[in-house]
Chains A and B, each alone.
Chain A
Amino acid sequence: MASIARLLICLGLSTLFIQLIVSDELSLFINPKYNWLIFCCVLILIILSIVQLYTLKKPDIHFIGKWGYVMMTLPLVMVIIFPPQALDPSMASKKGTFYLPQGNQQKNTDSVNDNYPVDQEVDTQINEATTDSSNDDFTNPYQKIKEEMLKKDLIQFTEENYADYYNALSFYPTEFVGKKIKILGFVYHDQTLKKDEFVIGRFTVTCCTADAMVIGVVVKDPHAIQLKNKKWIEVTGTLTTTKQEGYDMPAIQLTSSEDTTEPKDPYIYFY
């Protein structure tokens, strides 16, 4: 009886993983970069269930309490009761956020010298770029992306370029002032922001959804309060900067916004 339970759990888990793979829902849980891990996992589970099949009638060689079976069935039960869904934007307030001054602009490490004070440093970086661009590429990989973005009339953030564009934008906020931008995300009101501001945010996933964080750009909109949290919209606007704790941060002056629905894969994958 116990051996049949073990067999069914092994098979159930491999069916669950295959279900997630074929329905493309695996990306709701882990970064697609690690999909091969899940393939290996399915393979091992199938091998283990075949071994279990061969030893179906043998007595147990170790003791497994009933909790072992209950706990290993739990993931299956959870999937069936709560079918796979993306992290809800209402979680944003519980997660780390990335739109405030940080990332490459932290206060107390060496790299501060590279970035601050912003205006002066950016100027020197431009000079360096004209004189010795190869050297500058080495120090900052986003230099190239920045130039590519500046050539465009409308900077459109998509799932593929989001991470690169976002980094370039937060590295050189002042250089993009006046450029047109189009970006999709969910509305998120943060208490640290002013009344006429909200964040157009996305969840980023590095490894699995457990380490998801919010990234996004501050949007200036006089009617910000009327927008509901976690609504998905597409924003068009002009880039400006906003002062946050003394630092220049990129911001969008809203020209128009459009309601959309949640994309099938709502996460952004860095790295």
Chain B
Amino acid sequence: MIKIMKTYAIESISLVILIYLLVSLSIEYTFLDPILSWMINLNLGNLFSLGNLSTIFLSIFIEGLPFILLGVLISSFIQVYIKEETVWKWLPKNPFISIPLSTLLGLFLPICECGIVPVAKKLIQKGFPVYSAFTFLLAAPIINPVTIASTYIAFGESVEMVFLRSSIGAGIAMAMGIIFLWLYHDNKVLRVSKVIPQTDHCTEHQGNCSPPQSKGRLHHALEHSIFEMFNMGKYFVLGALIAATFQTYIGVSVIKQYAEYSGLAIIIMMGLAFGLSICSSADAFIAASFRSVLGTAPILAFLVYGPMMDMKNILMMFDSFKKSVVLTFFIGTTLLTALSIFILL
């Protein structure tokens, strides 16, 4: 009996966990229940609006975590299943063809900005050209089916706004792609992360990581996802926390005081997009709520800049890429967005 328990320890523990989760689903009771009902009586939430802070933070976390997990899974599967040669094969060698093509990648890989950093990082590790990867990173959250549909609905089914948003987004993404082509033609943009030395496991920097059997590969991809989840998760949580603090104590209504000065409003709306860190599939609705006080230009600045650049993305990028690369990326995109909005509108 003990022998059986020892050999099947892991199986039996996972069985116990699964049964626990299923039971808690069916009897609608988990061990969190008594703790939560006890804490409700303490009512700490009224202290300094901390309850609101927590609600907004958790809503960003809960809404974003599925996308983080999706991004992490996709990147891990790219890591394990896709060989470097295959990525190269279908991408045109000429950067001036491949950069416009990568703006359209989002239509096939619809990842919103929460999950895109790990995917872009993995693509670069797999030998995907840096300029294309950054174009993809910028364009995919804007030019994807979900964002396009939500923008269309939020602005009273106006094609104009969708067109402006997508075309300016694509333009900036391509311009940044060309800048990266010029600055970082070698692929050394990734941050060298600490790897535990004594392990015989192949590290991500060697690139070719292929355990022998196919069953091992799946297992390996999933194992990899756990680590990726924690590495991305910490910045995601930090970003969500900052965004929630901003929303609770400063709020979007600040903008209304500056609505008369168009130039200032554009800058402030970009700052707001950065600070709020709302998912690109929902930000159109927020933007629509400003239509009474602001003109098209500041709203467009919000819509274009938000998906490309926000608090949690930048934090996640600092983990994956070199500092100088992230700074170039940040400054370049910010200047380009501001300039294009000022000139075009």
A interface residues (Cβ-Cβ under 8 A, vs B) = 6, 9-11, 13-23, 26, 28-30, 34, 37-38, 40-41, 44-56, 59-65, 67-72, 74-75, 78-88, 90-91, 93-98, 100-104, 106-111, 206-211, 213, 270-271
Contact = CB atoms under 8 A, between A and B. Distances in A.
B91 interface: no
Contacts of A37: 63, 66
Contacts of A80: 32, 35-36, 39
27 contacts: A6-B230, A18-B25, A19-B32, A30-B59, A46-B18, A46-B21, A60-B227, A71-B235, A72-B233, A75-B61, A80-B36, A82-B51, A84-B36, A84-B58, A86-B55, A88-B51, A94-B250, A95-B253, A101-B292, A106-B292, A108-B295, A209-B55, A209-B59, A210-B282, A211-B285, A211-B286, A213-B285
A271 B153 contact: yes
B66 A68 contact: no
Nearest to B233: A72
B328 interface: no
Given A62-B227, A64-B227, A207-B63, A18 B193 contact: no
Nearest to A16: B32
Nearest to B30: A19
B40 A83 contact: yes
Contacts of B62: 17, 20, 26, 29-30, 38, 208
Contacts of A26: 62
Contact of A93 (B17, B231, B251, B289): B251
A85 B241 CA distance: 17
Contacts of B21: 14-15, 18, 46
B248 A91 contact: yes
Among A28, A83, A88, the most chain B Cβ lie within 10 Å of the Cβ of A83
Given A20-B62, A22-B30, A93-B251, 9 more contacts: A15-B31, A15-B32, A17-B62, A53-B10, A68-B234, A71-B234, A71-B235, A79-B36, A108-B295
**Could you tell me the dominant secondary structure of chain B's interface residues?**
helix
Contacts of A29: 55, 58-59, 62-63
B50 interface: yes
A63 B193 contact: yes
A94 B244 CA distance: 12
Contact of A51 (B25, B49, B56, B222): B222
B63 A34 contact: yes
B24 A64 contact: no
Contacts of B63: 29-30, 34, 37, 207-208, 210
Given A68-B230, A78-B58, A110 B160 contact: yes
A72 B52 contact: no
A208 B59 contact: yes
